[in-house]
Amino acid sequence: MAQVWGIYNTHKVDKIHLRFRKLILGVKQQTPNASVFGELGWFPLVVICKQRSLYYCIKIMKKPDLLMYAMFNKHCIT
């Protein structure tokens, strides 16, 4: 599984994923989204994407190798 999926433009994917979750539960599409998330104990994909991106950045900051350091700090290494 990818550590980072990206944190932008997840609206369409979230919408499809939510419809799938409602299908799993056998509820109507008008059922409040918060109820669906609470019942399944899941979070919206946008939250998961942002969380994984943050964890990945923290991981890189704790163990920076030369290439990753250069990419994230945008410095030229000479």
Each residue of 18-55: pLDDT tens digit?
A: 999 999 899 999 999 889 988 888 888 888 888 887 88
DSSP assignment letter at 77? P
| 26 lies in some domain | yes
Q: What percent of the chain clears pLDDT 70, i.e. is strictly above it?
A: 68
Has residue 39 been placed in a domain?
yes
Q: Which of 22, 39, 40 is nearest to 31 (CA)?
A: 22
Instruction: State the amino acid at position 35 in one-letter form.
Output: S
Confirm whether 3 is domain-assigned: no
Residue 4 falls within a domain, yes or no? no
pTM, whole model, 2 decimals?
0.59
The answer to whether residue 29 is domain-embedded is yes
- Residue 32 in domain: yes
Structure-token pair, residue 4? 């980072």
Residue range of the domain that includes 50 = 11-73
Cα 55–Cα 59–Cα 62 angle in degrees, nearest 5: 135
Top mean pLDDT of 8-12, 28-32, 60-64, 71-75 is at 28-32
Q: How many domains does the chain have?
A: 1
